Structures are given as C-alpha cells and as structure tokens.
Structure 1
Amino acid sequence: MKVTIYSDGSARGNPDGPGGYGTVIQYVDAKGVLHEKELSAGYDKTTNNRMELMGAIMGLEALNRPCVVDLYSDSKYVISAFNENWIDGWIKKNWKKSDGKPVKNVELWKRLLEASNRHQVTWHWVKGHDGHTENERCDGLATGAADGPSGDLLHDDGGDLR
C-alpha cells in the first residue's frame, strides 16, 4: 500500500513555549478514491524540533500495516537526519554528534526510527511557507493546535509524548 504523509511542527516562543504538530495522511485506493486523515495535538511547553519530530512520528504510527511511504516535511532537521545519514552516525556514536555532544530529543529519534522501520519510507524536504498546499495545511493544523486553549494542551516533559 502506497501512502503519502505530510507533517509540520510549530512552537510559539521557541524554546519552551506552546507548540503543536500537524499531519495529513493520504492514500488512494484501487478505485482511485482519495482517503485522508488529519492528526494534530498541542503541547504546553516544547520546541519546534520536537514538534517536527512528532508530526512525522504520529503519521507513521497511525499506519496499521507496513506501507510504502513518501513523507514530506519542511524540517531539514528531520529530513536530513535520514537523507544525509546523520542517524547512522549518531547510533554508531551512542547518540552523540560529531562534536561529542549528546543528540537532543533522543527518545523521539528512537521512536521515529521504530515507526519508520516498519515501512519503506522515502524522506522529502519541501520549502516551508512557500505555497505548498499540503505543507500549508499541516502548518495550519500545527499552529492551531499550539494556539488551543491552555487546558487542552498536553504536557511535554521532554520525555515520551505518547
């Protein structure tokens, strides 16, 4: 099954302001009918990078069987980690960067790896805020979630956001 995922993240007052992710999953069935699912959630205090990761994670975790996935994001942080093999280096160095400093958001990177390993994922970067219809849609979902009532926002303790 071939699926397309678009994802985006947002944080107000980055770092440690409210934030959110937005994800759109699309699938065209054998009859040519487009099926779509939107996912979003807001968090009380987070960072943009964490929300970018969450958008991709939630899209992949929403798939209930192995799929061929085209995943689109405007986050070079997420896309380059896979397309430029940063992940492989981090793993070989026990989650340390080339400068010896620890990789930030390790628990989310591990979760994204686990989610992506179930699928055949091709990672695509798109320029943000440049009129890309689905990226703009995800941005609207992410910012809308970040701007939600404070009582509706989830807590990001820097740990597992499930």
Structure 2
Amino acid sequence: MEVNIYINAEHTGHLSKGNGKYAVTIESETSKGLATLQLYKGVLKTSRNRTALIACLDAFSHLKKPCFVNLYIDNTHVTETINQEWYKSWNLDTWTNKGKAVGNADLWKEFLEHYKKHKIKVICEGDTPYTSYMKTQIAHVNIEYKEDICQR
C-alpha cells in the first residue's frame, strides 16, 4: 500500500522554547477511492525541528501496517537527516554524534523505528496540493496546545 503524508509545521516565539503547530494530511487509495485524514495540533515550549518530528510521529501512528510512504515536509533538518543519511554517523547506543548529544534523540529514535518498519521516502517540499489549505486551517482552526509529551 502507498501512502502520501503532507506536513506543514509552524513555530513562533523563542527558537527552542516557542510554540509549534502543525497540520498533517494522510492520503491513501482505497477500494472506495482516495481517502484522507487530517490532523491539526499544537505543542508548547518546543522548537521548529521538534514540532516537525512530532508531526511525523503523529502521522506514522496512524499507519497500521507496513507500507510505502511519501513524506512531503518543508523541514530541511528532517529531510537532510534522512536523505543525506546523517543518522548513520550517530552512535545509536549513546545517541551521540562526534561526542555531542543528538538533538531530539527521543524523537529520532522513534522516527527511525518507523523508518525501518515502512519504506519512507522523504521529500523536501513546501508547496503541495494541500499546503495552502493546511496553512489556512492552522491559522483559523482553534488548535489546543499540549505540553511536549513526547519527551521520554
């Protein structure tokens, strides 16, 4: 099964302690035609990259069986970490890179588990068929912000 995931994440305030919000559209072909699921959420006291990773994990949590995923996201950190295979230089036992802690290691650990389970192609794309709609929704939907509960 092939699934397209479109993510638009925004961040306001302080770089590492601001508020993030995101929109996710999950699209897949079913026997009844194209099906979509849309999510809109917010995260308090977080960073831009962390918001993007949380959005990815939220989307992946809706995939019930292994599948081929096209992940469209406009976050260069996420796309380059996967596409340039930066994660391969990390010490995954200690979650360090060149002696320093990997940023957002808790989220990357979970992301890479999904990366192993699914065949995920990450595409850095800020202009998708859903971008305009998702940005409008993020701006106008009353998003309930939650604490960053992903910290494990």
Q: TM-score, normalised by structure 2?
A: 0.85
The structure richer in helix per residue is 1
Alignment of 1:1-162 (within 5 A): 1-13=1-13, 14-30=15-31, 33-91=33-91, 94-98=94-98, 100-126=99-125, 128=126, 131-142=127-138, 148=143, 152-156=144-148, 159-160=151-152
Report if aligned partners of 2:9, 2:20 keep a CA contact under 8 Å in 1: yes
Q: Compared with structure 1, are the counterparts of its residues 107 and 132 closer, same or farther at alpha carbon in structure 2 (3 Å cutoff)? A: same
Contiguous gaps of at least 5 residues in structure 1: none
Structure 2: how far apart are the matches of 1:52 and 1:125?
Answer: 12
Output the amino acid matched with 1:28. Answer: E
Q: What's the RMSD between the two structures over aligned residues?
A: 2.3
Alpha carbons 1:7, 1:24 under 8 Å: kept: yes
**Greater relative CO, 1 or 2 (CA 8 Å, sep 6+):** 1
Displacement of 1:12 in angstroms is: 1.0
TM-score (norm 1): 0.81
Label 1:124 to 1:76 Cα distance change in 2 as closer, same or farther (>3 A).
same
Distance in structure 2 (CA, Å) of the matches to 1:77 and 1:125: 10
